[in-house]
Amino acid sequence: MRRLLLATLLNVALFALLIAEASHAGGLYLSSYGSPDMGTASAGAQALASDASTAFLNPAGMTRLKDHQFLGALAPGFSTNKFKADQQTPSGGGDGGDQGGLVPIMGASYVHKLSDDVAVGLSLISLAGAALSPDDDWAGRFQMTNVSLFTLTIAPTIGFRVTDWLSIGAGAYVTYGKLDLDVRVALPLREPTAQLEDMSDWAATGIVSALIEPCEGFRFGVMFQGETEFNLKGNTNIPPLASSALDLELPLARAVRSSIYWDATDDLALMMSGGWEDWSAAGSLPLSVSAAATTVNIPLNFRDTWYIGAGGHYKVSDKLTLQTGFRYDSSALKDKDRTVFLPVDRTLTLGVGALYDYSDTMKIGFAFSWANLGTAPVNTASVKGKYTRNELFLFGVTLNWKKLPWSGRGTVRF
């Protein structure tokens, strides 16, 4: 029984990595939060610096804003994840139906100009809802049958203008993650459901950034995000076994993100982005299991990821600008190391959108993002197969208040 308990908890704990998908941006990170750069598949995100979302994407860019600004974003969407099991998959069972569901993403950013050269910002990013929910009798039921996930990131930031062409920024990402998971257990003659409840923690990391503008209409932005160390604690209930407390150390990768913005003509702006994420730091995870009175290392075999993207803005009129962009993210896992807990392969993302200057006070944005997560082949001891549909669709709306009731107040002009 002790060996069965430990083996089951090892499988259950792996799904805590979904928290990595719901935090920040790229590789295993999400690449967009409904902010205006969603229309370019995040191309140019660190160099655009034209609205309050720069408080989160590159705090150095806050110095470019003329006054206090507030941006609210909503990106409701859904995922579709359809698995096709091999006929000889060891566990038997069906394909699980469409495992996807709603993915409600919300965010807000506020920038307050203290002077022409100094600005502070505060951002709030949230993702909530079921991540994956296959049928109970599917082939991967001994790895996962249902998951509910909530994350919340708070980001206080500050930006300084050093010279006419250089600004720097710094801040922190403070993230809360909570996970509930159900998984079937292979016991003789029956398959009870193990429940992992309230795996949660707060964790924080620092960020530093720079925005370089050597000439008007050309900008380069770069941001470094440190490693986040989660220490997830929770409980599991596996009838007829005794409940057990779990303690899982989960690092989220440090990352470097960079972008270029160029006004090619009066009406056309071109953007490029590229970055690197240190996922090999999560090569194995220490897990403490109270009922088994032991600590083990879970091998993950993650590898570093990189991404590249390109996009553009085309000004149709003084009020309307159209957007589009494309991005490629490499895979953090080789095929032989993947499980159904994290069905992510290489990722292709396409974004389209529009920005409309509704008035001198407000700019409205609309965007659509489609991400293809690849076939994500799985070849484990309990389940074998691949995903025939593995996609994420997001529909974004942003409202950016360029002038607030207190605009012009609280700033010092030199």
Q: What is the 3-state secondary structure (H, E, C) of 97-115?
A: CECCCECCEEEEEEEEECE
Q: For residue 63, which phi and psi values (nearest 5 degrees)?
A: -70, -20
Residue 49 in this model has a pLDDT that exceeds 80: yes
For the whole model, what pTM was predicted? 0.86
Q: What is the pLDDT of residue 263?
A: 97
CB atoms within 10 A of CB 361: 12
- Token pair of 264, please? 């090619």
Task: Work out the widest C-alpha separation in the chain, in whole angstroms.
Answer: 79
Q: What is the pLDDT of residue 25?
A: 40
Mean pLDDT to the nearest integer, 216-220: 95
Which residues are CB-contacts of 408 (< 8 A; sequence separation ≥ 6)? 67
User: Helix or strand or coil: residue 176?
Assistant: strand
Q: What is the pLDDT of residue 240?
A: 59
Mean pLDDT to the nearest integer, 50-68: 95
At which residue do the structure tokens 């069972």 appear? 93
Using only C-alpha atoms, what is the Rg of the chain? 22
Q: 215 or 21: whose pLDDT is higher?
A: 215
The answer as to CATH 2.40.160.60 being correct for domain 2-401 is yes
Mean pLDDT to the nearest integer, 313-330: 96
pLDDT tens digits along 70-86: 999 998 888 888 888 88
Mean pLDDT to the nearest integer, 350-364: 95
Q: 11 or 165: whose pLDDT is higher?
A: 165
With residue 38 as reference, give the H or E element that holds it: none
Q: What angle do CA 113, 119, 122 make, to 5 degrees?
A: 100
Q: Cβ distance 75 to 105 under 8 Å?
A: yes
Q: Cβ distance 42 to 25 under 8 Å?
A: yes
Closest CA to 58 of 173, 221, 260: 221
Question: Could you tell me the residue ranges of all domains in the chain?
Answer: 2-401
Mean pLDDT to the nearest integer, 150-157: 89
Mean pLDDT to the nearest integer, 219-243: 79
Amino acid of residue 136? D
pLDDT tens digits along 241-277: 556 677 777 777 889 999 999 999 999 999 999 999 9
Least confident of 2-11, 219-228, 306-315: 2-11
At residue 22 the predicted structure's pLDDT band, cuts being 50, 70 and 90, is: very low
User: Helix or strand or coil: residue 18?
Assistant: helix
Question: How far is residue 265's CA from residue 52's CA, in Å, rounded to a whole number?
Answer: 25
Residue 209 in this model has a pLDDT that exceeds 60: yes
